[in-house]
Amino acid sequence: GWKTSFEPQSCCFDQWREAAPPTWTANETNQKNASRYMKFHEIHSDKINLIRAYDEQSVTVHEKKITSSAILFPDNIIDNLHYKSIDDLFSSNLDEVFKYEPEIVLIGMHDNKHNLTQEQIALFNKRNVSVELMSLPAGCRTFNILISEQRKAVLIILLSL
């Protein structure tokens, strides 16, 4: 079995950092100096649902251990869902997901040998929402990256019941 934990840490730093300058000609240097610095902002992990750990039976968000299928939003969790597979994802039980108006929906599951049906893909397409089906570990990592970039992402976790 596999188990991964993420160390609590800030994903960005609230300080000015000098970016590595590209090679410029002498005339371009004065014009480009103003854009040599980038501002990084700390994102406090207690305000967003960063995934701290996951294994074959659970996902841990902050200190909350999720042991059943769930939907993770950057600032909300809907857990104790009775989804067993992607076949359980249809319009009526995705209302909360679509109300959030996400840019992308990630579906993380242990058995990622399945595909979404054309009807399921159409549900997302008609709302201009990208959808990605991936392994649970990849879904957890991708979700953390997207929400740390302040993207409107949702992770649907499908854990075996």
pLDDT tens digit string along 6-48? 554 444 433 344 444 444 455 544 554 444 554 444 555 577 8
Average pLDDT, the chain: 79
Alpha carbon distance 20, 46 (integer Å): 32
Contact present, 76 and 62 (Cβ < 8 Å) = no
54 has pLDDT over 70: yes
User: What's the pLDDT score for residue 12?
Assistant: 42
Residues paired with 160 in a beta bridge: none
pLDDT tens digit string along 109-159? 987 678 899 999 999 999 999 999 999 999 999 999 999 999 999 999 998
Q: Which contiguous run of DSSP H or E holds residue 79?
A: strand 76-81
User: What's the pLDDT score for residue 77?
Assistant: 96
User: What's the pLDDT score for residue 98?
Assistant: 95
Alpha carbon distance 127, 115 (integer Å): 19
pLDDT tens digit string along 75-117? 999 998 888 888 888 877 899 999 999 999 999 998 767 889 9
- The more confident residue out of 10 and 72 is 72
The pLDDT of 50-77, averaged and rounded, is: 93
Contact present, 86 and 159 (Cβ < 8 Å) = no
